[in-house]
Amino acid sequence: MGDLLIRNIPDAMKRDIASRAEKNGNSLSDEAKSLLQKAMIGTSGTNAPARSALEGFREIFSPLTEKEQEEFAGIMDEIEAERKKDFGRPLEGFD
């Protein structure tokens, strides 16, 4: 296997990767490889599984407690219900 050296990484980014590595029980190198792999799959469009926006948000907010996740899902359901109410309704003020 080859090596990859990435220069000029902002300190904050390195701290974030190190924090994720510690949280996930990985080395800094393994966590960086995992993040690169996820990014490559996410942008290639070929191997990425289809996900809803809600699933994407859940991944971002994964540190939330189960109760907070349920509350967030409820809010998203309310937003979707309101959006559906207006679907097909003519725009006002465009006479």
Q: Which amino acid is at 40?
A: M
Kindly indicate the confidence band of residue 25, based on its pLDDT and cuts at 50, 70 and 90: very high
Q: Please report which residue ranges of the chain form alpha helices under DSSP H.
A: 11-24, 28-44, 53-60, 66-85
For residue 30, what pLDDT is reported? 92
Q: Decide: pTM greater than 0.85.
A: no
Residue ranges covered by each domain of the chain: 10-49, 51-88
DSSP one-letter code for 64:
S
Locus of tokens 């967030």: 72
pLDDT digits (tens, 9 = 90+) for 49-86: 677 777 777 677 666 778 887 888 899 889 888 877 77
Count of beta carbons in the 10 Å neighbourhood of residue 31:
20
